[in-house]
A and B are shown apart, each in its own frame.
Chain A
């Protein structure tokens, strides 16, 4: 009787070990097929409207869980198909929790630097900005992507302009705005902005930067004005003037001086105007 019982125990133990080995082997095979599985999992991610209904009030928690999963998923660099549903995934998370700022920021980061599609990143950030108009981080991020990854400085300036009007925005926002205006070619607006930054600055470093930028722009604008006046003079007289003073008052109201009070240099042979000593950093 006892021998029969111990025999049964051995069979039971052997069956247990066998089943455990089978389970481990199947698990290992599944792990090896992870790449395919990871992709096919996405086929079952419904739209946020459906997920919200079945989350029974825990939509924010569901957004957390999908976000956590997405971070792991987009870290799988060996899966080339992982970006196929990237817009859908981040739309689902942000629809479930429209105020989850990390998702917009990290989603845009992945779309820009891993998927190399800054337009998609800006689309995601635009959704975030529309839903969170009082959060400066999203327009600031969007401005940086527009500037660095799309090279669209006018668009960047619009984002930075929005960010700097939001309470508690970082102090660098107006400088980013002014810099983008400058890069976009709107030198007069940029000059006004740098002057305003200089006026409002509460530390010497920012004051020095803004003064230098304002002076450079001021010089550039004055040189452009003088060049345009010289060009008009030549058109009227068929030659260049011997001295710059000949431009005033018909072509310029008064001859400008550079920010250090020095007159601009003029070469009557080439018609070139320049600043004495080039661009110097004025000490504030």
Chain B
């Protein structure tokens, strides 16, 4: 593994992804929601800032996730479809470096998006209350970890299917990941083999709700450091696992 080659591929991926129109559509929609939250919050009776924060944090999390999934879906798949990947393989780069380079490029883009929307949200909160709220960064930080994991999944799917199928798989992973708590509810209601199956699914499927502390942040509820550290550890470990799995499988894939 050569970090310089990974960085070069990442840079190229980042530049290519900047040409994706969907990226600007998502950033535009996310920014619009954050700014519009100022007007929407006027409809409430009570704490207007709560509405601004809820809408803003949801926009940051959702936009970051969608950028990771939709841009990541095409990261390798488009190269395969256009046959440009074969050109890349003719250079002295390993498949592992390609996977890591693509992952890093998409991730850099998704995290840039998260950071810019986070900045906008803090600016809106500052404008409305006279002070930025550093606690929002906790929720945004965990959303960023979710973005890391979703990027890993997007690259995995992109290595083995078309852009559209990868996008659908990615969105499916997002929905299942946020449905994981529902599986725990289901586990309590079934018995025998079904319960075991649900238990295995609960353990194996990514639980994206572990990165959701938005309500705690908005309501200023205590967030134990251990819980935050566990969530970050879980996200990074799971992402590492998916990336290694992608590299292992991608090395075996034939492009003949």
Q: Is B one of A's binding partners?
A: yes
Interface residues of A (CB under 8 A from B): 49, 53, 56-61, 64, 67-68, 71-72, 97, 99-103, 105-106
Q: Is the CB of A60 within 8 A of B45?
A: no
A56-B178, A68-B51, A99-B219 known; A61+B58 contact, CB < 8 A: yes
Q: Is the CB of A58 within 8 A of B43?
A: no
Q: Is the CB of B212 within 8 A of A102?
A: no
B170 shortest CB reach to chain A, Å = 14
Chain B, interface size category, equals 20 to 34
CA distance A57 to B182 in the complex (A): 11
B191 at the interface (CB under 8 A from A): no
Q: Is the CB of B212 within 8 A of A71?
A: no
Q: Which residues of A contact B61 (CB under 8 A)?
A: 57
By Cβ-Cβ distance, the 8 closest A-B pairs, closest first, are A102-B46, A56-B178, A99-B219, A60-B215, A57-B178, A53-B182, A61-B58, A57-B212
Interface residues of B (CB under 8 A from A): 40, 43-47, 50-51, 54-55, 58, 61-62, 174-175, 178-179, 181-182, 185, 208-209, 212, 214-215, 218-219, 221
Q: Is the CB of A71 within 8 A of B43?
A: yes
Q: Is the CB of B46 within 8 A of A106?
A: yes
Q: Is the CB of A99 within 8 A of B221?
A: yes
Selected A-B contacts with CB under 8 Å, 26 pairs: A49-B185, A53-B179, A53-B182, A56-B174, A56-B178, A56-B179, A57-B61, A57-B212, A57-B214, A60-B54, A60-B218, A64-B54, A67-B44, A68-B43, A68-B44, A71-B43, A71-B44, A72-B43, A97-B215, A99-B219, A100-B219, A101-B47, A102-B46, A102-B50, A106-B45, A106-B46
CA distance A106 to B62 in the complex (A): 30
Q: Is the CB of B215 within 8 A of A59?
A: yes
Q: Which residues of B contact A67 (CB under 8 A)?
A: 44
Residue from A53, A58, A100, A105 whose CB has the most chain B CB atoms within 10 Å:
A58
A258 shortest CB reach to chain B, Å = 49
Give me 8 other A-B pairs in contact (C-beta within 8 A), A56-B178, A57-B208, A67-B44 excluded: A53-B181, A57-B178, A61-B54, A71-B45, A99-B219, A100-B219, A101-B47, A106-B46
A99 to chain B: closest residue by CB: B219
CA distance A160 to B195 in the complex (A): 47
A137 shortest CB reach to chain B, Å = 11
Main SS of the interface on chain A?
Answer: helix
CA distance A72 to B45 in the complex (A): 10
Q: Which residues of A contact B46 (CB under 8 A)?
A: 101-103, 105-106
Q: Is the CB of B50 within 8 A of A64?
A: yes
B228 shortest CB reach to chain A, Å = 17
CA distance A100 to B178 in the complex (A): 22
B55 to chain A: closest residue by CB: A61
Which of B44, B175, B209 interacts with A102 by CB under 8 Å?
A: B44
Q: Is the CB of A57 within 8 A of B209?
A: yes
A135 to chain B: closest residue by CB: B219
B124 shortest CB reach to chain A, Å = 16
Q: Which residues of A contact B209 (CB under 8 A)?
A: 57
CA distance A34 to B54 in the complex (A): 29
Q: Which residues of A contact B181 (CB under 8 A)?
A: 53
Q: Which residues of B contact A64 (CB under 8 A)?
A: 44, 50-51, 54-55
Q: Which residues of B contact A102 (CB under 8 A)?
A: 44-47, 50
B220 to chain A: closest residue by CB: A99
Q: Which residues of B contact A106 (CB under 8 A)?
A: 45-46
A97 to chain B: closest residue by CB: B215
